[in-house]
Amino acid sequence: MATIVQFENVGLRYGTGPETLSDVSFSLGAGSFYFLTGASGAGKTSLLKLLYLAQRPTRGMIRLFGEDAVTLPRARLPGFRRRIGVVFQDFRLVPHLSAADNVALPLRVSGVPESDVEAPVREMLAWVGLSDRAHARPATLSGGEQQRIAIARAVIGRPEMLVADEPTGNVDPAMAERLLHLFDSLNRLGTTVVVATHDLQLINRIAGAHMMRIEQGRLSDPTGSLRFPPRDA
């Protein structure tokens, strides 16, 4: 299986504080499904930020899509980021755009012709159960509805990798199940999926998903399968 992400001895420090992440090493196989768990403050969001290139590590090596992501020239960041769908913990919807226009953003940014935008937006809104809120501004949506719009926006461009930070934190169990099914469908189409969650129930729902656990900034690898190359290689 091809490796889509590789971390070797990665460390992250914010300012002059202690290291938030230390000696993080793992690799992600293209097309696999990963859960990242850990207590609040353990470093899940920080690890995801490194993955979607919002943050550079203070030490270590990160390869993404086969290239060195640490020394990637700034000008190439947008091109890389377009290959990654992100569901932010705080949604980050654009407040002056409607729900439909928020969902359409990745397609428009990628230069998809306007005639090819409407149908997938409609399909995604239906998938997340919000067809009737297409014209609503984010401020008029509930937290769970905003989260579903953020998920629709993250997956509409069929990204090579989907990174989601607590994507079911604001929805009821039935909707969480449905959203997970959406991620699963995307994964079956070949997208590598990384979901940070506290919800251990979710983890059992995806057959064959890998689990990474982070404790005080260090990754524990319960399956022993995430390290690349293996420690004893």
Ligand X SMILES: Nc1ncnc2c1ncn2[C@@H]1O[C@H](COP(=O)(O)OP(=O)(O)OP(=O)(O)O)[C@@H](O)[C@H]1O
Residues in contact with ligand X by CB under 6 A are 14, 20, 38, 40-46
**Closest approach of ligand X to the CB of residue 162, in Å:** 17
> What is the rounded end-to-end Cα distance, in angstroms, of the chain?
18
Q: Residue written as tokens 């629709």?
A: 152
Q: Do residues 112 and 187 touch, judged by C-beta distance below 8 A?
A: no
DSSP state of 116: G
Task: Pick the closer one to ligand X by CB: 42 or 219.
Answer: 42
Residue 114 burial (CB count, 10 A) = 9
**Closest approach of ligand X to the CB of residue 46, in Å:** 3
**Closest approach of ligand X to the CB of residue 61, in Å:** 20
Task: Pick the closer one to ligand X by CB: 20 or 170.
Answer: 20
DSSP 58-77: SEEEEEETTEESSS--GGGH
Nearest to 160, CA basis, from 137, 182, 131, 192: 192
Residue 162, C-beta contacts closer than 8 angstroms, at least 6 positions apart: 84, 85, 86, 87, 154, 155, 183, 186, 191, 192, 193, 194
Count of H-run helices and E-run strands, the chain:
7, 10
Task: Pick the closer one to ligand X by CB: 47 or 103.
Answer: 47
Task: Pick the closer one to ligand X by CB: 50 or 93.
Answer: 50
Task: Pick the closer one to ligand X by CB: 88 or 127.
Answer: 88
Task: Pick the closer one to ligand X by CB: 19 or 160.
Answer: 19
State how far the Cα of 227 lies from the Cα of 222, in Å rounded to an integer. 11
**Closest approach of ligand X to the CB of residue 55, in Å:** 8
**Closest approach of ligand X to the CB of residue 89, in Å:** 6
**Closest approach of ligand X to the CB of residue 222, in Å:** 17
